[in-house]
Structure 1
Amino acid sequence: MDRKMTRFCLLVTLCSLAGLVLGGTVSRAEMQQCLVTDSPTNACLTADPTEKTVEGMGMGVVAGAGAAIGAVWQLRQNND
């Protein structure tokens, strides 16, 4: 693999990992905030916290990878 491709893969991996952590944290915080309200909704009470966390982590990975690809795309457009 050449140097540019290695950097690209590293950037996508690191951004995806950051998205994974942030997505999981945000979904956990959202669940906690939902439960401490004065009148929690039925959807809030019946939601599986693990499922919601995994869902948030998945969205974070996709968002992180998309951000990395978008950043590389923008850099390539500016260099041309």
Structure 2
Amino acid sequence: MLLVVSCSLTGVILGGTTSWAESKLCLQAKTAMNDCLTQDPITKIIEGMSIGLVAGTGAAFGAAWQMRHED
């Protein structure tokens, strides 16, 4: 359970940070793309965090499954 929680939390942090950095770069670009102007940065960060949560949880369950079958 600790593996799932730690991987999920790491996924949320990395996903949110990546989305935040991407939105900052997009807004600072010389030619702003349509996605930058129409999408709310907070919504983009929340989407990144939720994707990170799913990815982290999936990775944790995959690692736990692998460890269980190796024993």
TM-score by length of 1: 0.83
Q: TM-score, normalised by structure 2?
A: 0.93
Runs of 4+ in 1 over 4 A off after TM superposition: none
Q: Percent identity, aligned pairs only?
A: 54
Q: Runs of 5+ in structure 1 lacking a partner?
A: 1-8
- Can you give the 5+ residue segments of structure 2 that lack an aligned partner in the other structure? none
- Asked if 1:13 corresponds to 2:26, the answer is no
What is the root-mean-square deviation of aligned Cα atoms in Å?
A: 0.8
Aligned partners of 2:32, 2:68: CA distance in 1, in Å?
48
Whole-Å separation in 1 of the counterparts to 2:56 and 2:45: 16
Deviation at 1:77, TM superposition (A): 2.0
Count of aligned residue pairs for this structure pair = 71
